[in-house]
Copies of this chain bind each other. A is one copy, B any other.
Amino acid sequence: MTDEGRSIFLEDIPLEEARIRLYSALQAAGRDQPLPGEPVELTEAVGRITAEPVWAKLSSPHYHAAAMDGYAVQAAATFSAAETCPLRLTVGSEAYPVNTGDLLPIDADAVIMIEEVQQPTPDVIEIRASVAPYQHVRQMGEDIVASELALPVNHRIRPVDLGGAAGCGYARLTVRRKPFAVIIPTGSELVPAGQTPQPGQIIEYNSLVLRGQVIEAGGRVEVTAIVPDDVTALRAALDEALARQPDLILLLSGSSAGSRDFAASAIRSRGTLLAHGIAVRPGHPVVIGIIQGVPVIGVPGYPVSAALTGELLVLPLLARWLGAPSPMDDAHRVRAILTRKLVSPIGDDDFVRVTLGKVGDRLLASPLSRGAGVITSLVRADGLAHIPRFSEGVDAGQAVEVRLYRRLDVIERTVVISGSHDPLLDLLGQFMTERHPGCRLTSAAVGSLGGLIALRRGEAHLAGVHLLDPDTGNYNLPAVDKYLPGEVVRIVTFAHREQGFMVARGNPLAIQSVADLPRVRYVNRQRGAGTRVLLDYALRRAGIDPALISGYAREENTHLAVAAAVASGVADCGMGVRQAALTMGVDFISVGWERYDFVIPAVHLDHPGVGYLLETLEDPAFRQALAAQPGYDAREMGTVQRRS
C-alpha cells in the first residue's frame, strides 16, 4: 500500500467526503439510482412509495350519474314549471326514476330530488319549479378525467390515495421495491436482549435500533446471529450475507477499538474500503466499504453512535433508493436558543441531543448527556443540534440549528421543569400523560438553585426546589426571595421527602451522622443541589471542615446516581432520599423530612400544561400513588405556600 493510500485511513474524514466516496462507488456499480418498481395490491400499498406517476385510466365518474334519488329529466322541458303553475311529466318518457349513482338516461341532463316531486299517479310526476341543466348530476370526470395525474411519482401512499387510485381504474400500483439490508452484529462481549448480562457482557440492541430504523424508512431486514470478534468468522458472515443478495450490509462493531479494525480488515479482504473513521461526534469509528457493488457500513458499537450512524448514513441511502426526500434534507429544522454552552472539536461535525421547550416566546434547547453510551439521551431527545465543522462551539444564549424529532406544536405544549431531581417527577409526568394524552413534561436535573436561576433566565415554566434556609430553618421561601427578588411567583408543595445517609447494606462502617464522614469515602451531590445545601448545613452545625471528607468533591447529579455509587461499592456513603436507597438496595439512615415545592412564575400559570400539572396534584389517585412510595408524604401536596 502506498503512503497516499494509507493516509486516508490514518485520520477521520469529513462526513461529506465520506458520503461522496460512498455515492461515487455506488454510481460506479450502477446502484445509486432509485430501485425499480414492483406491483403491489392496493391493500398493501399504504406507506409504499410510487415508482412511477399514476395517470388516470378511467374517468371518475365514468358516466354522467344521478347525484340524488329522484327523477331524471331534460332541464329545458321544465322551464314553464312554477309554484303557481305546476308541470306534469310522464314517467318513462319525460321523467325517469333514478337512484343516486345511476346512469343518466341519454336525453336527460338534470335530476329532481324525490322530495320535490308529487306523484298523482304512478305514471305521472308533478313539479312546481324549473330545474337548471346539470342540477344534481355528477358529470363524467367530475372527480378525475382519464389521463390526468392521480398521484405523482415518489409519493408516499396514504389511505385516501387508495381511493383516488382505485377510482381511476387501478387495483395495484407500481411502488419502489423495499431496499433489503442484512445486519450482522459482532462482538464477543454481546448477549441478546432479555438475557441477564454478567459484568463485562453487554446487551446487544444496536441491531434492534438499526433494524427498526430501516423498516420504518420502508426497507426490509434480516439480522444474523451475533458473530464473535474473529476475522475468519466475520469474513464468513460477510460471505453469507452477500449470498442473500442484499442492497446493503450493516456490520455492527463491538464497542472496543479493535472491533472496528476487524470490520475494516474483513471489508478490505472482500472488497474496497472507502472510509475508516469519519469526523462526526458521536460516531467517529464508522467504516465504509463496498463489496461486489454492495455497500457495507461498519457501524460503531456505542449505542448513540450506532443510532446516529443510522440517521446520518443509512437513512439517506435508503431514501435515495426509495426516491424519497433524504431525511436530512427533508427534516423539519428550527433555530433554538441554547441554555448551556457547548464546546465542540473544531474538526468534527458535532451532533448534540437536546430537549426543547417553549418558555414564553423563546424556543430553548437544553443539551442532554453527550456520552456516546447514553442511549436514553436519544430516547429523551426532542431534536438533534448540529455544531458544524470549523466551529469551536456555541455559547449559551446563542441560537443553534436543531433537527426535530418531535412535532413542533407538541414541543410548544410541553411543560418544562427545571431544578432539583426527584425520582417521582416521572410518576407525576406519567399521571399527567395518562389523564391528558399528548401533554408532556420534561425535566432537567440542575439542582434546586439551578432551577431558580433557570426561572430567572426564562428557561423553565416551573422549578422544583427543596432549599433549606440555614438561618431560619425554613424551606424554599427565603431562597425564592433571595434569587428571584421582585418576581411574582406561586409556590405550591409537591411532597415531603425523607432525606438521609445511604450506606452499604448492614451499615458495616456504622455511619450515624455527619461526624462519621471524615473516616469514609463519601459521594456528594453537585453544588446548588438542595441535598448538598442540607449536607453543608449539617457539616457547619457540627463544625466539620468539608476538606476532611474524602470524595466531597465527587459530584453526582441525582439521588439514584449517589445510591448507585454506594451500591456498587465505589463509595461508602452519600446523602439522598429514602426511595433511592430502597431502589438500589442499600441501607438508609434518616436525617429528617424536607419540603419539596414547585415555584411557578405568575406569567406561566395560564400555560395549559401547567394547569394540568396543578390539577394532577389535586388528584386523589396520584396522592395515593405518591404516598405509597417509601419516604414520601403527600400531606401538603397542592398546598399553596405563596399565592402569586
Residues of A participating in the B interface, judged by any CB pair closer than 8 Å: 42-43, 46-47, 53, 58-65, 67-69, 99-103, 106, 109, 114, 133-134, 138-155, 158-164, 166-167, 169-172, 189, 192-197, 199-200, 202-203, 205-206, 208-213, 215-216, 254-258, 301, 303, 307, 310, 319, 323-326, 329-330, 332-333, 369, 371, 373-376, 378-379, 407-410, 423, 426-427, 429-430, 433-434, 437-438, 554, 558, 560-561, 563-565, 567-570, 583-584
Contact of A139 among B63, B146, B147, B565 (CB under 8 A): B565
Given the contacts A194-B170, A584-B145, A151 and B379 also touching, CB distance less than 8 Å:
yes
In the bound complex, residues from chain B placing their C-beta under 8 Å from that of A438 are 325, 329-330
Contact of A163 among B68, B303, B423 (CB under 8 A): B303
In the bound complex, residues from chain B placing their C-beta under 8 Å from that of A323 are 434, 437
Contact of A215 among B46, B69, B138 (CB under 8 A): B46
Nearest-neighbor residue (CB-CB) of A257 within chain B: B69
Q: Which 9 A-B pairs have the closest CB atoms?
A: A171-B194, A159-B212, A325-B438, A166-B205, A149-B426, A103-B199, A166-B193, A147-B583, A145-B560
Contact of A143 among B62, B101, B374 (CB under 8 A): B374
Q: Are the C-beta atoms of A64 and B307 separated by less than 8 Å?
A: no
In the bound complex, residues from chain B placing their C-beta under 8 Å from that of A426 are 53, 148-149, 152
Q: Are the C-beta atoms of A209 and B307 separated by less than 8 Å?
A: no
Q: Are the C-beta atoms of B64 and A570 separated by less than 8 Å?
A: yes
Task: Tell me the complex Cα distance, A172–B379, Å.
Answer: 17
Q: Are the C-beta atoms of A437 and B326 separated by less than 8 Å?
A: yes
Task: Tell me the complex Cα distance, A506–B409, Å.
Answer: 60
In the bound complex, residues from chain B placing their C-beta under 8 Å from that of A570 are 64, 109, 139
Contact of A147 among B53, B212, B430, B560 (CB under 8 A): B560
Contact of A162 among B163, B208, B333 (CB under 8 A): B208
In the bound complex, residues from chain B placing their C-beta under 8 Å from that of A333 are 409
The minimal Cβ–Cβ distance linking A513 to chain B, given in whole angstroms, is 26
* Copies per complex of this chain: 2
Q: Are the C-beta atoms of A101 and B189 separated by less than 8 Å?
A: yes
Task: Tell me the complex Cα distance, A561–B61, Å.
Answer: 12
Task: Tell me the complex Cα distance, A153–B432, Å.
Answer: 10
Q: Are the C-beta atoms of A153 and B374 separated by less than 8 Å?
A: no
Q: Are the C-beta atoms of B147 and A437 separated by less than 8 Å?
A: no
Task: Tell me the complex Cα distance, A522–B171, Å.
Answer: 36
A sample of 10 inter-chain contacts (CB < 8 A) reads A64-B568, A101-B254, A103-B199, A149-B427, A153-B430, A163-B379, A166-B194, A171-B194, A319-B437, A324-B437
Q: Are the C-beta atoms of A256 and B560 separated by less than 8 Å?
A: no
In the bound complex, residues from chain B placing their C-beta under 8 Å from that of A162 are 205, 208-209, 212
Contact of A140 among B42, B158, B564, B583 (CB under 8 A): B564
Given contacts A62-B197, A330-B438, 11 further A-B contacts (CB under 8 A): A42-B193, A100-B256, A134-B554, A145-B563, A154-B433, A161-B379, A163-B205, A163-B206, A167-B203, A319-B437, A323-B437
Q: Are the C-beta atoms of A258 and B99 separated by less than 8 Å?
A: yes
Nearest-neighbor residue (CB-CB) of A101 within chain B: B255
Task: Tell me the complex Cα distance, A133–B427, Å.
Answer: 34
Task: Tell me the complex Cα distance, A488–B371, Å.
Answer: 55
